[in-house]
Structure 1
């Protein structure tokens, strides 16, 4: 009889050990997932700050010393549970990065329509930055889209609710349409080249911290 109790007790302890192990595994996976998410978000913020710190000459883009000229337009919004930033430059280059996978994706430089969409967006940005706030790089509010325009003199920003932008009651609807047009071209590239390799070049910034901090 004692042997049966020992067998029963041993089996119970074994099952309890399995449950504790599975619980530990789940906690470990959850913790690892949270660490990855936090790491990606930190990397996203680093890329965001790196972009704010850029000057036109870092990218080989010419500007005029006697005229304030926009050289980059950033559009930041929520994509599902992630934050995503689309960046268009005056030379037609496009970057896109988000807080889920913070690597800096570079648009296909051979895609003429993407390049033209970026240049068109920059032409529009040139006429909008004068109405924006200077050096406001605060966090994106839920349900909003925020725009940043970088010039050879300063950084500017403005934002509005997604609802106001979509129903065209926002003064920034035109900028949003230009950003969405770039997004459409990126989607076309992804559909037509599903296996195309994305290159992640490094951009050297000549300052130790963002220019607007």
Structure 2
């Protein structure tokens, strides 16, 4: 079973040389720490940063340099800063190759709910709806179940949707799954996790074909 860092490390394997990548709040922000050193990647944040680096070491933070989640970040040589209108022009113009988001629920059809729980105070949806409407490749980083042990991979989302039919792949603490027209297709299982455990933790339709390999790092 993976922790949050393990999820981020596995998703980092999906980042290719030359990609422009947007990282959502939560687990996705950790991905920048684990991208291979031998590839060139530009991380974009919707608050107006292009060229984000890993998180700063303790004591080296600059409170004026933050991501969309208000976390302090580092920047790489050649990084640029701009207004949010320019940032969203990049997103809406489909200039981002990969978007990595957290989620509260994902449906077997690739719908995502990640911005609101009814009855709870929220600050707003941020840029999530623009990202899911414009991105060609969306990977979700999330825990497979909620704190009560109920599945977050569902036949249909119960929470207000952020986007419809937009998720391509999901990496959880238990597995890597891909959205197919017939449901969640199981691609890999986390170290020490059995296929039966993944089946029990998945409420939506799960497609299991052949031997499922364990994730490699």
Q: Same fold (TM over 0.5)?
A: no
- Compare CA radii of gyration and give the structure with the larger one: 1
If each structure's strand is expressed as a fraction of its own residues, which one has the higher value? Answer: 2
TM-score interval w.r.t. the shorter chain? under 0.3
Could you say which structure has the greater relative contact order, defined with CA pairs below 8 angstroms and 6 or more residues apart? 1
Q: TM-score, normalised by structure 1?
A: 0.27
